Structure 1
Amino acid sequence: MSDIHGFNEDLLRFLDASPTPFHAVETMAIALRAAGFEALDERDEWQLKPGGRYFVVRNGSSLVAFSCGESNLLQRGWRMVGAHTDSPNLKVKPTPELHRHGYFQVGVEVYGGALLNPWFDRDLGLAGRVNYENSQGDMRSCLLNITRPVGLIPSLAIHLDREANNSRTVNPQKDLPVVLLQSDEKQDFRALLAEALAAQGVADVATVLDYELSFYDCQNAAMVGWNGDFIASARLDNLLSCYIGMQALLTSDAQSHTILVCNDHEEVGSQSAVGAQGPMLESVLRRIAGDEVGLQRAMANSMMISADNAHGIHPNFSDRHDTNHGPLLNAGPVIKNNVNQRYATNSDTSSLFRRLCADEDVAVQSFVVRSDMACGSTVGPLTAAALGVKTLDVGVPTFAMHSIRELAGSQDAFKLTKVLVAFYGLAELGVAN
């Protein structure tokens, strides 16, 4: 944790390797295995050992990693960090084929609250999970990542829409079908997928049964700005926090009982078998604790930090922020507050975080949405309500959240990781129950 350049270079590689939640979880699983974490199967009986480090994956898109510390769990509790693996994007429909005027297009659904205008005129790759039947009649699934530009959504020329700069809106059904190729012949999207799988070494594909595929911007993550002040990438919300949480977990000491949970489906409400409103985290904690009384005792000594990006004050739109709560990029992590419980922060948990930041010589900021605007939310309140655990919502300040390409400071992820390492190592919370 002393080399910010190496940290950011590895972060860029992580972002590029993770175009979908499936790929993000696979990338994290590889890193965890390399660090000595053991993969567990929920169908098996677990034999957990003091000092052991483990992880479990559900649906290929959500992950819980944890360390069984050498201290007393019931007295010390868990130090938990939560993030989410999904980002707004365009997902391919089940029967997507559109043949119009000699062009083959595929229909898409908008996943989450995407900022749609930036999706036009981008080089789009395609990635996700494909389920298929092989020549022996066995059902299989694999990940697909077509990194070359295979699609685009061309804008309508301004000559044909003179009011485009004043009033252009996006109709997702009409305006977003993706152009894949030019042909007068009918195309079968599943047949194209079989060809793409074969090109990636999956040869025995008799029939593509189904898929969960998303388009994504082929432009790589990059350090940008005159002095390299910024990180520009797709999916900073919230792969940035997944990476931060993972690096903090890998650095945590052996005494700690630590948890990293990275859930799918946050952008669409988290209500799924693998979302933060689902049972995944609680079921893992129950298996670690061993019984209901043990779970409740450990939970009373535990705390969750929900890490999800915060809105940095935009210099062109500063009026969209509360005057006293406009976080700056590269000025430190942001405590997210909302009296209506859209964030789970309270004075106990925020005070603890402020003290940790002071100990690590990291500046800290606060965000409160304008009183005349609606506030977004994240996994923090959901986890707090489900588990009854003390919770704090924090994040790295970001521009262009939910765009196809977002912007964050090049120092903030490193700073937040330092604080989370200290949090993971806390022997006592020092906050009221």
Structure 2
Amino acid sequence: MSSEPARFDRGHTDDLMAFLTAAPTPYHAVAAAAERLEKAGFREVLETDAWDGTTGGKYVQRGGALIAWYVPEGVSAHTPFRIVGAHTDSPNLRVKPLPDTGAHGWRQIAVEVYGGTLLNTWLDRDLGLAGRLTLRDGTHRLVNVDRALLRVPQLAVHLDRSVNTDGLKLDRQRHMQPIWGLGDVEEGDLIRFLEQETGLAEGEVTGWDLMPHSIEPPAYLGRDRELVAGPRMDNLISVHAGTAALAAVSASSDLAYIPVLAAFDHEENGSQSDTGADGPLLGSVLERSVFARGGGYEDRARAFAGTVCLSSDTGHAVHPNYGERHDPTHHPRANGGPILKVNVNQRYATDGQGRAHFAAACEKAGVPWQTFVSNNAMPCGTTIGPITAARHGIHTVDIGVAILSMHSARELCGADDPYLLANALVAFLEG
């Protein structure tokens, strides 16, 4: 990856597909990103330790969030940051505190709906189960049962004759509980099963954050394999591209800024958590980096004033079957390059100055880019962008990759676009 004109690199997209498979949960996404950064020479620093001002790549991981940064030689305490912001979570189903349930001889798992997922896309899929187990001693263990374990069965058309005329109507409580076997319900059965799967002693797990995931692997699609279908593209495309870009620029000897990757959790439900963009994590890490290099409040203020953040999240490609739902003059297309996301009501944080920052990065990288704005008659989504701008006073620009089937269990994008995004991020982080 470089700032030279971008050409489609199937190797980058292959690696994205491997990343999607390795990251069925935010916790696994953080682990996969950290592994890639470690190979690039980054080292983990603990929030509970004292930090020093040494140069090089460092990262902090907290649950489903990761903040990584690279301190070049010769920077001052007030050197501004260049930040790529993203999020690790995706809309899905999550296991409840009392998971074991069932009816009529079926064993089921009690789940809660997380975020704005398209419920029907979880029906009749072979699902695995993954997440984080908290042990009695307070440590964590990642678990990933990546085989056909669960299924949310749809009602047969014979028992719902109107489904194809009146539409599918799903009750989030009654209709979304997956089955995973036959027999009587046994309290503690699921956790005992996961303890066995991970080689833990019975009773060792005292807490859990678990979620089903589709086990169907990502795949190239289309006549010329010009598309990619896969799970959790919103927003692991950006996490993967940001990780690759940060690793690439860390090899540069001429950086005018301190490049940062901020991958948050809980964007899909408002970002209000200790690992979300509306929490203190990013500000704390940036401030401690300034202070560790001998700076004070004035240096912190100067650094933040010169900082720019690209909030990278997926956006809507124009849909061939629902063209009227899009703005009539803004039609982002697959493989047309990353999109600049604009909303004057600040659901996206982009302004004219931000547009210039993004255009300069794309021009430097030789990457085409597009613009997205919502149809005035349709409510607009939002991102971590406005939150980052408001919470930290950092100039923020919203960008991303255009996809179809957003918030589905399986989404679709152009096979070129992830690589084009990563090249644009490299140019941005290089300054």
TM-score, with normalisation over the residues of structure 1? 0.93
CA distance in 2, matches of 1:186, 1:157: 25
Higher relative contact order (CA 8 A, sep 6+): 2
CA distance in 1, matches of 2:407, 2:8: 29
Residues 196, 75 of structure 1: alpha-carbon distance in 2 compared, 3 angstrom cutoff: closer
What are the residue-to-residue correspondences of 1:252-271 with 2, within 5 Å? 252=249, 253-254=252-253, 255=255, 256-271=257-272
In structure 1, the partner of 2:209 is 212
1:74–1:301 CA contact under 8 A, matched in 2: no
Deviation string 1:376-430 (CA, Å, 9 cap, x unpaired) is: 000011001111111110010000000000001100110111111111111xxxx
CA distance in 2, matches of 1:395, 1:22: 22
In structure 1, the partner of 2:305 is 300
Q: Is residue 195 from structure 1 mapped to residue 193 from structure 2 by the alignment?
A: yes
Helix, strand or coil for the counterpart of 2:328? coil
How far residue 177 of structure 1 moved from its aligned partner, in angstroms, is 0.7
Residue identity over aligned pairs, in percent, reads: 41
2:42–2:58 CA contact under 8 A, matched in 1: yes
Amino acid at match of 1:146: V
Q: Is residue 65 from structure 1 mapped to residue 65 from structure 2 by the alignment?
A: no
CA distance in 2, matches of 1:343, 1:358: 22
Amino acid at match of 1:108: V
In structure 2, the partner of 1:127 is 130
Residues 393, 73 of structure 1: alpha-carbon distance in 2 compared, 3 angstrom cutoff: farther
In structure 2, the partner of 1:172 is 172
1:73–1:257 CA contact under 8 A, matched in 2: no
1:397–1:408 CA contact under 8 A, matched in 2: yes
Select between 108-117 and 287-296 the one with higher mean Cα deviation: 287-296
How far residue 194 of structure 1 moved from its aligned partner, in angstroms, is 2.7
Residues 105, 81 of structure 1: alpha-carbon distance in 2 compared, 3 angstrom cutoff: same
Which consecutive residues of structure 1, in runs of 5 or more, have no partner in the other structure?
A: 427-433
Residues 246, 360 of structure 1: alpha-carbon distance in 2 compared, 3 angstrom cutoff: same
Residues 73, 345 of structure 1: alpha-carbon distance in 2 compared, 3 angstrom cutoff: farther
In structure 2, the partner of 1:53 is 57
2:66–2:262 CA contact under 8 A, matched in 1: yes
Aligned residues: CA RMSD? 1.4
Helix, strand or coil for the counterpart of 2:61? strand
Aligned length: 417
In structure 1, the partner of 2:117 is 114
Select between 251-260 and 219-228 the one with higher mean Cα deviation: 251-260
Q: Is residue 232 from structure 1 mapped to residue 235 from structure 2 by the alignment?
A: no
1:310–1:395 CA contact under 8 A, matched in 2: yes
In structure 2, the partner of 1:430 is none
Residues 54, 140 of structure 1: alpha-carbon distance in 2 compared, 3 angstrom cutoff: closer
Helix, strand or coil for the counterpart of 2:247? helix
How far residue 352 of structure 1 moved from its aligned partner, in angstroms, is 2.0
Helix, strand or coil for the counterpart of 1:270? coil
1:74–1:297 CA contact under 8 A, matched in 2: no
CA distance in 1, matches of 2:417, 2:76: 31
CA distance in 2, matches of 1:330, 1:125: 31
In structure 2, the partner of 1:89 is 92
How far residue 357 of structure 1 moved from its aligned partner, in angstroms, is 1.4
In structure 2, the partner of 1:275 is 276
CA distance in 2, matches of 1:88, 1:370: 23
2:101–2:185 CA contact under 8 A, matched in 1: no
Which consecutive residues of structure 2, in runs of 5 or more, have no partner in the other structure?
A: 2-6
Q: Is residue 146 from structure 1 mapped to residue 148 from structure 2 by the alignment?
A: no
1:16–1:221 CA contact under 8 A, matched in 2: yes
Residues 47, 231 of structure 1: alpha-carbon distance in 2 compared, 3 angstrom cutoff: same
Select between 41-50 and 306-315 the one with higher mean Cα deviation: 41-50
CA distance in 2, matches of 1:76, 1:345: 23
How far residue 55 of structure 1 moved from its aligned partner, in angstroms, is 0.2
TM-score, with normalisation over the residues of structure 2? 0.94
In structure 1, the partner of 2:246 is 249
Q: Give the alignment partner of residue 359 of structure 2, picking from 344, 350, 354.
A: 354
